[in-house]
Amino acid sequence: MAEQTYQTDIIVLKKTKLKETDLIIEALSDTGSLVKFVAKGARKPGSSFSSRLELGAYANALCVHGKNLDICKEARLVNAHALLRNDVDRSLSMQCILEILSKTALSKLDNPKVFAMSVSVLDALDDCEKSALGFLVSAFYLKLFAFLGIKPALDSCASCGHDIDKSNDESPHAHVAFSYENGGVLCRVCAANADALLIDANLISWMNWLLNSTFADICAHLPEETIASSVLGICKRWVSVHIQTNLKSLDFLIGDKYR
């Protein structure tokens, strides 16, 4: 029987050793679903395979359906994103993207917009100013939350839907009630009955801006650097509440660069 082959664009998310010389590659396919395959001989010295299947690489893979795992026969690089692996700050930022994708992408569950957005953010991380890294990662997270249907409410109360009026606060810095468990910003009435904390209203506006701006626009109009740290902190806790996972890579980015 002829081997059943298929071709797919991928972003490499994870590599695991298998036997002496093989690798199991976990990748995001161009449909946005998670694919796993074996790259035979990829760990042999001098194998050209491994350089085309580095973490964060955007490649075109020719695979064959296997009994348990599919086998990758050939891989052609579309964009190696080499800078992302050769620079510590860029590499940490890339890890934040790859880790959340490996935890949220599911096999046979298509979400093609996630693939396109992932390619865009890796391209941007590859050649942006270093001060943009934290903003690109936080914007990616917020956009991904939207694609996954877990976007925090930022304009209107997550419980009753009323518009949040940030202008009525008499304190010098307006604050809004925000609840991770209840899905985002809350009006005063709903906040009284919820486990909410107060967040600077400006921060909520910046989150809205990051969510709705292109990566190129973000790089061109960078806010004050401390904002990235705060948004990343919110994203980390949002992931722990809504995806029930602790993102280790995000700790490095917040801890090393932005705390």
Residue count at the site for Zn ion (CB under 5 A)?
A: 5
Note whether 10 binds Zn ion by CB under 5 A.
Answer: no
User: Which is closer to Zn ion, CB of 160 or CB of 216?
Assistant: 160
Q: How far is the CB of 186 from Zn ion (least distance, A)?
A: 6
User: Which is closer to Zn ion, CB of 113 or CB of 162?
Assistant: 162
Stretch that binds Zn ion, among 53-61, 77-85, 156-164, 240-248 (CB under 5 A): 156-164
Cα separations in angstroms, 253 against 121, 133, 164, 236: 16, 9, 31, 11
Q: How far is the CB of 158 from Zn ion (least distance, A)?
A: 8
136-155 positions binding Zn ion, by CB under 5 A: none
Note whether 160 binds Zn ion by CB under 5 A.
Answer: yes
Note whether 191 binds Zn ion by CB under 5 A.
Answer: no
Which element (helix H / strand E) includes 249? helix 248-253
Q: Which residues are registered as beta bridge partners of 186?
A: 177
Cβ contact 185:153 at 8 Å = yes
Exactly one of 33, 159, 182, 230 binds Zn ion (CB under 5 A); which one? Answer: 159
Exactly one of 190, 207, 228, 254 binds Zn ion (CB under 5 A); which one? Answer: 190
User: Which is closer to Zn ion, CB of 106 or CB of 197?
Assistant: 197
Count of other CB atoms within 10 angstroms of residue 189: 11
Q: What is the DSSP string of 96-154?
A: HHHHHHHHH--TT---HHHHHHHHHHHHHHHHS-GGGHHHHHHHHHHHHHHHHT-PPB-
Exactly one of 157, 210, 239, 250 binds Zn ion (CB under 5 A); which one? Answer: 157
Stretch that binds Zn ion, among 73-81, 82-90, 180-188, 213-221 (CB under 5 A): 180-188
Note whether 187 binds Zn ion by CB under 5 A.
Answer: yes
Note whether 176 binds Zn ion by CB under 5 A.
Answer: no
Cβ contact 178:203 at 8 Å = no
CB-based contacts of 146, cutoff 8 Å, min separation 6:
211
Q: How far is the CB of 240 from Zn ion (least distance, A)?
A: 24
C-alpha 221/C-alpha 63 separation (Å) is 42
User: Which is closer to Zn ion, CB of 112 or CB of 161?
Assistant: 161
Note whether 118 binds Zn ion by CB under 5 A.
Answer: no
User: Which is closer to Zn ion, CB of 96 or CB of 187?
Assistant: 187
Q: What is the DSSP string of 35-50?
A: EEEEETTTTSTT-HHH
User: Which is closer to Zn ion, CB of 63 or CB of 164?
Assistant: 164
User: Which is closer to Zn ion, CB of 181 or CB of 217?
Assistant: 181
C-alpha 240/C-alpha 165 separation (Å) is 28
Q: Which residues are registered as beta bridge partners of 5?
A: 64
Per DSSP, the three-state class of 206 is helix
Binding site for Zn ion (CB under 5 A): 157, 159-160, 187, 190
